[in-house]
Amino acid sequence: MKRIHLRSIPEPEPNTRAVFFHKGPGTVVMYGDGDTTFVCASCESALAENVWELQIRNIVLVCAACGAFNELP
């Protein structure tokens, strides 16, 4: 399984980016059946697990563990 560290960014201005917040147990915002796990730039918690590397693009995932805003490439 490939692990990719995301890039931490400041909170985007409202209505400029798609920002996903995780509500519930754990930190994973999305699951799939791919070969890649994206992890938080600050605390290395898994945010997108078992997804294809090119499946999700140009979104921001907020880490439920540390609150960091993480940009997907």
Q: What is the pLDDT of residues 12-36, one digit of tens each?
A: 999 999 999 988 899 999 999 999 9
User: Can you give the pTM of this predicted structure?
Assistant: 0.91
Residue 71, pLDDT > 90, answer yes
Mean pLDDT of the chain: 94
Per the structure, how many domains does the chain have? 1
* Residue 24: predicted pLDDT: 87
Amino acid at 45: S
Enumerate residues 6+ apart whose C-beta is below 8 A from 19: 12, 59, 60, 61, 62, 69
Domain range for 20 is 2-71
Amino acid 59: pLDDT: 94
